[in-house]
Structure 1
Amino acid sequence: MKVGLISDSHDNITNMKKCISYLNSCGVDFVFHCGDIVSPFTIKIMNELKCDYRVVFGNNDGEWLFLKQASDNRIFKPPYLFEFDQKKFLLLHEGDIAMLIDKSVDFVFYGHTHVKYKFYKNGQLIVNPGALSGYMAESATFAVLDTKELNVEFIDVDTI
């Protein structure tokens, strides 16, 4: 299964549209956003995905009610545990507890730091896709994960 990973889009409409277009073109099966979308008009772009998605609130997300409405109730307070394709996914915004998560969870995704990161721990994969916005980051990134091969590809928005 191919999974798209996004975080910290911070209302960067241009990058969000590029990212969603790319994820649609490569045929991802599911998308997770690790928070800091910020405004309801930005989350509406995620509704253009050809697959389902889940999002957690970040520390900069302010309009919780309208974000829930615009996402059709696919945004949740972290930590958010989601089971899909016989795998367990834990979605966070801040990753300070990521290394403490029990190995019964297959994948742990978080954002907040704006730094892309991947780490394998006892069969568990922990990933931060970086900041889609590119703000306070080396570059604007997101990631695509192959859950069978445990391969994570970080994509720089400026290269697509």
Structure 2
Amino acid sequence: MKICIVSDSHDRRDLLLAAVTEAKSLGAEVVLHCGDVCAPTALRPLQKLGLPVHVIHGNNMGDTYLMFMLSQEPDSVIHYHGMDAGLDLGGKRVFLVHYPHYAEALALTGDWDIVCCGHDHHPAITTVDNTKQGQTLILNPGTIAGLGPCASYILGDLETMQFEIRTVPGTEHR
């Protein structure tokens, strides 16, 4: 199962849509959003792509009531989880949290195969040794809004556990 991981879209619906559209064309079957959507209406353009979108709110929570209502609309692809989410996807245990320091702490437990985060706007793929003598991936897609070094997201394959940081189409020369 291929996944698209985004974070910190900060109302940049155009860049969010560009990233998810590209990821879908590359085989992504689900979108994970690690927070800071701001206005929930920024997610509305994703409805037409038909991919399930799992989203948490981050520190820029915006309108949590509207986020909940968007997720309750008939045929909505939006799954709003509140402040964090534990998911079983493609045979992997995946946790979404906004803050990198919480992501590292959760990764150390060994309870998760992958922990995804955002907040600092710096894309990174790291592996940590956990307390169960295994390893856990921490995936930070950076910011889809381009408020950091670049507008970026992560495309990954849960079967092969291969992940890559990608630049949002159309932002390569900013």
Q: Same fold (TM over 0.5)?
A: yes
Task: Tell me which residue corresponds to 1:22.
Answer: 22
Tell me which moved more, 103-112 or 144-153.
144-153
Task: Tell me which residue corresponds to 2:91.
Answer: 86
Question: Residue 98 in 1 paired to residue 109 in 2?
Answer: no
Q: Which amino acid aligns with 1:85?
A: G
Number of residue pairs matched by the alignment: 159
Q: Which amino acid aligns with 1:26?
A: L
Question: Residue 140 in 1 paired to residue 154 in 2?
Answer: no
> What root-mean-square deviation, in Å, do the aligned CA atoms of Structure 1 and Structure 2 show?
1.7
Asked if structure 2 preserves the Cα contact closer than 8 Å seen for 1:24 and 1:50, the reply is no
Tell me which moved more, 121-130 or 45-54.
45-54
Question: Residue 110 in 1 paired to residue 117 in 2?
Answer: yes
> Partners in 1 of 2:97 and 2:166 — Cα distance?
20
Question: Residue 54 in 1 paired to residue 54 in 2?
Answer: yes
> Partners in 1 of 2:55 and 2:34 — Cα distance?
6
Task: Tell me which residue corresponds to 2:2.
Answer: 2
| Structure 1 segments unaligned to the other structure (5+ residues) | none
Q: Secondary structure at the match of 2:166?
A: strand
Task: Tell me which residue corresponds to 1:125.
Answer: 137
* Larger radius of gyration between Structure 1 and Structure 2: 2
- TM-score (norm. length: structure 1): 0.91
Displacement of 1:61 after TM fit? Answer: 2.0
Tell me which moved more, 150-159 or 7-16.
150-159
Q: Which amino acid aligns with 1:131?
A: T
- Structure 1 residue runs of 4 or more that deviate by more than 6 Å after TM superposition: none
| Structure 2 segments unaligned to the other structure (5+ residues) | 73-77, 129-133
Relative to structure 1, the CA distance from residue 13 to residue 51 in structure 2 (aligned partners, 3 Å threshold; closer, same or farther) is closer
Displacement of 1:83 after TM fit? Answer: 1.2
- TM-score (norm. length: structure 2): 0.84
Asked if structure 1 preserves the Cα contact closer than 8 Å seen for 2:40 and 2:62, the reply is no
Q: Over residues 10-62 of structure 1, what are the superposed CA-to-partner deviations in whole Å (9 max), with x where a residue is unaligned?
A: 01122112112112211212110000111122011222333212000111122
